Amino acid sequence: MDLLSKVPLVAQSCVVNTKHWTQEYPDGKQVHCVYASMKIPAGTKLTGNPLGGHIFLGTTARRGLLAESFGLWCKCERCSDPTECGTYLSGIICPNHSKDSPAYILPINPLDQNSDWKCTDITKCGNKVLGVGEIQRIMGPIEDKVYELTDSAAQLGFDQLYRRSFSLEEYKLTMAMEKYDGELERVLHPNHYLKFQLRKQVLYGMNFIATGIREGTIRHGILRRRSMGLQILERMFNISKQCSELVVGVEPGLSIYYGKI
Ligand SMILES: [Zn+2]
Ligand SMILES: [Zn+2]
């Protein structure tokens, strides 16, 4: 049974205004805690989501995971909106437009996992639709590559923020993720959830590199150049800025991405 069903006052949604968890005491007693993660005007419905960090997945993946793990097909405002409340977390760049005025291919009915997709610019692309098979042919290899890279980062413990050592293999993986994120600029909306997942790991990796350079613990020849350290700090700043702008759209209020849960 998932936590939300034990807290009947909180409705399932992918736009949350509460956080919740189970507190376990030494005597085995469990208490379900709920607190507001933002100012909630009187009369507003309390909302929560059992997915934790997976709330940053795009709608098809997020709804699939909610159904698989908790047996529910979410129909919240974010799940019902092809743009996911203006965040475009699942947006694919339509190739028929210039870089200066991009348009995005989105699901027509995001509440249907097998929905057709179409471009947001109907004046140029009309009602031409792409079937779910065509979308999978575009997204399947990208998804495989992103998860191959981010799984390797997870196995190497990229999220252990306070460790001291960083291997050449980890450096190469960080740069491979950074390069692939750059390649995806031509295919996916800048906020796409797969790019968000890559950039999160790049940020962890670059944090190790910057710390290693500062403390002199990284000795690989390639990192001896001071300018390399500055480039990395600049890139970390830009990634953090992009990610925090996205977090405001997906998880307004308190968020682990601001160091507040
Ligand atoms: Zn939802
Ligand atoms: Zn188009």
Structure confidence at residue 159 (pLDDT) = 81
**Distance between first and last Cα of the chain:** 23
In contact, 187 and 92? CB cutoff 8 Å: yes
Q: Are 11 and 75 in contact (CB under 8 A)?
A: no
**The predicted structure's pLDDT at residue 222:** 54
* Residue list, CB under 5 A from ion ligand 2: 94, 96, 103, 119, 121, 125
Residue 181 CA, ligand 2 centroid: distance in Å = 22
Domain residue spans in the chain?
3-70, 90-131, 133-249
Using CA atoms, how far apart are residues 202 and 97, in angstroms rounded to an integer?
A: 29
pLDDT of 1 reads 45
| pTM score over 0.85 | yes
pLDDT digits 0-9 by tens, 44-94: 999 988 888 889 999 999 999 999 999 989 999 999 999 999 999 999 999
Question: Residue 259's pLDDT band (boundaries 50, 70, 90)?
Answer: low
Determine the distance separating the centroid of ligand 2 and the alpha carbon of 141, expressed in angstroms.
Answer: 22
Per-residue pLDDT tens over the stretch 124-177: 998 889 999 999 999 999 999 999 999 999 999 888 877 667 788 888 999 999
Distance 38 CA to ligand 1 centre (A): 18
Give residues whose Cβ lies within 5 Å of ion ligand 1. Answer: 14, 74, 76, 79
Per-residue pLDDT at 220 exceeds 70? no
Residue range 108-120: mean pLDDT, rounded:
97
Closest ligand (CA of 15): 1
Please compute, for residue 258, the number of CA atoms within 13 A of its CA located in the half-sphere on the CB side: 14
Provide the pLDDT for residue 107. 97
Cα distance between residue 135 and residue 188, in whole Å: 12
- Of 233 and 256, the structure prediction assigns the larger pLDDT to 233
Using the mean position of ligand 2's atoms as its centre, give its distance from the Cα of residue 106 in Å: 10
- Of the chain, the percentage scoring pLDDT greater than 90 comes to 52
Kindly identify the ligand whose nearest atom is closest to the C-alpha of 79: 1
Cα(250) to ligand 1 centroid in Å equals 11
Instruction: State both tokens at 225.
Output: 């150049």
Ligand 1 center–CA 14 separation, angstroms: 4
- Are 4 and 19 spatial neighbours (Cβ–Cβ below 8 Å)? no
Element (H or E) spanning 98, and its range? Answer: none
Going from the Cα of 91 to the center of ligand 2, the distance in angstroms, rounded, reads 12
How many residues appear in the chain?
261
Is 116 within 8 Å of 136 (Cβ atoms)?
Answer: no
- Which residues contact residue 47 at a Cβ distance below 8 angstroms, ignoring those fewer than 6 apart? 10, 11, 12, 13, 15, 16, 17, 18, 76
CA of 143 to the centre of ligand 2 (A): 22
Q: Which pLDDT score, from 0 to 100, does residue 61 have? A: 96
Interatomic CA distance for residues 239 and 236, integer angstroms: 5
H-assigned helices in the chain: 3-6, 59-70, 77-80, 122-125, 132-155, 168-183, 193-215, 226-250
User: What gap in Å lies between CA 23 and CA 3, rounded to an integer?
Assistant: 11
d(CA 81, ligand 1 centre) in Å: 10
